[in-house]
Amino acid sequence: MALHDTHLLGLLGENLAADYLQKKGYRIITRNYRYHRNEIDIIARHRGTVCFVEVKTRTSDAKGHPAEAVTPQKQREIIKAARAWLALSGEGEQDCRFDVLAVIVESMHEGRIERSVIEHFTDAFWAD
């Protein structure tokens, strides 16, 4: 895989993020939850809180930090999907928060990530 294959890079970044969260004690509830055109990369539970996690993966921060790609518009889309998930799952009264995981893949070899940096921003944004 070439590092410019953004779809595959995103999938690898989401896998790294899920592994990272599990090692930190998060329980993954679902991945790639879709509500109409909106998607949440990872929904997890941590210490009684439902965490809606957006993962942004890049090969460098030359064009800005990955977390900067979670724009106000993207936040609104995630919030819509989160509200739908809470309503449809019956967990609407749960404590919840929105996190962002920024993944920078520094090197890869034969489709495997050899070196990466993960930054976890808890409570990265809030619903209105």
In the three-class reduction of DSSP (H, G, I as helix; E, B as strand; rest coil), residue 15 is classed as helix
- Model confidence at 4, in pLDDT bands (50, 70, 90)? low
Domains and CATH numbers, the chain: 6-125 (3.40.1350.10)
Q: Phi/psi of residue 61, each to 5°? A: -105, 25
Report the pLDDT value the prediction gives residue 101, as an integer from 0 to 100.
98
Q: What is the pLDDT of residues 67-123, one digit of tens each?
A: 999 999 999 999 999 999 999 998 777 899 999 999 998 877 777 777 889 999 999
CA angle 36, 57, 84 (to 5 degrees): 25
pTM greater than 0.85:
yes
Q: Phi/psi of residue 26, each to 5°? A: -80, 145
